[in-house]
Amino acid sequence: MTEILADIGEFGLIDRIHELLQKEGVQTPGLTLGIGDDTASFLPHAGYEVLVTCDCMVEGRHYLPQHITPLDLGRRAMVLNISDIGAVGGKPLYALVSLGLRSDTPISDVEAMYRGFVAELNPFEASIIGGNLTKSEGRPFIDITLIGEVEYGKTVRRSTAKVGDAILVTGYPGQSAAGLQLLLQAQPNADLLSHPLVRAYNIPSHRAWEGRAIAQSGCVTAMIDTSDGFLGDLGHICKESAVGAELIQEKLPISEALRQGAQKLGQDPYDLVLKDSDDYELIITCSPDHVDQIYSAVVALSDVPVTEVGRITDMARQIKLILRDGTWSEISPAGWDHFTESGG
């Protein structure tokens, strides 16, 4: 018989989680008080700024429980937060995890989620130091606060892009959006969990290592992750930096998996690249003279591609797309919005 939360209660689950983290997690240097007290404490490192971010995932809104394993769900939830720390050039250190769960949730599912959390944190020697558990009468949710650090003065902002800068992007934006649409259109018995686009949606890759290396290169002017979609987040840079952007359509990176997925979905692959998609790639701006240094910083760490896709312009908040025939169109920097249909 499957053991559920109602069988062991809140404190029984806390004991299980604590035991799992002691066995499978890591002890982050600087932690002075962790799980087991009313609060946690740590010693900030001299010469570093403390970074704090949080993100919440609600069942049916941010993930489809029938199409993701609890382990991958834990990984996905933690990646969202790690990506935010990496996008400013930082390193994650400590996580606080709050869960809203139904009483009939299997204990094994919760343990698998925590294994997903630590699978993403362990490579950074980052640890879970606390959180909260509550019973949810509605949809279950995962709410994570992640604390990180960055060398003082090295934080990369979204508000410091400069006119004339090159615009670069890592990876292949749009794959997550295509994966979600494949799941939504799938037949009831279809097994798509191993499909590369579905995997891009269920367990996206953060670029925190690359973001940190880019920041330390000293060549980046602005950076942001694509959690709101490529256009949405480029729009954030344009708004906060009071600049515009010019994109070259034929330079936008399209993977073979995305090309095939777009064909199956009957969509233009460029629309998938530009619109709503939580891929957690990085948009980077830098002087054209520093493009090679950005490439080198990433290549030294991974095989993640970096593509130059356009330029920052002086037309504040205006984003132009240069088409293959040389004509151009103005495109709206709309992205994910939780409270409008674009957040659907």
Whole-number pLDDT of residue 342:
47
Question: What is the average per-residue pLDDT within 155-176?
Answer: 97
On the question of pLDDT at 343 being above 70, the answer is no
Beta-carbon neighbour count of residue 61 at 10 Å? Answer: 13
Label residue 180 by pLDDT band (50, 70, 90): very high
pLDDT score, position 1 = 78
Cα gap 76→290, rounded to integer Å: 32
Where does residue 286 rank: exposed (0-12), middle (13-18), buried (19+ CB within 10 A)? buried
Q: For residue range 262-282, what is the model confidence (pLDDT) as tens digits?
A: 999 999 999 999 988 889 999
Query: What CA–CA distances, in Å, run from 88 to 46, 130, 332?
Result: 19, 24, 25
Average of per-residue pLDDT across 57-75:
91
Q: Are 247 and 320 in contact (CB under 8 A)?
A: yes
Name the nearest CA neighbour of 192 among 94, 81, 64. Answer: 64
Tens digit of each residue's pLDDT (9 = 90 or more) over 282-341: 999 999 999 999 999 999 999 999 999 999 999 988 999 999 888 888 887 665 455 455
Distance CA 177, CA 7 (A): 38
- pLDDT tens digits, one per residue of 191-234: 888 899 999 999 999 999 999 999 999 999 999 999 989 999 99
Tell me if 243 sits within 8 A of 163, measured CB to CB: yes
Mean pLDDT of the chain: 92
Domains of the chain: 5-151 (3.30.1330.10), 166-343 (3.90.650.10)
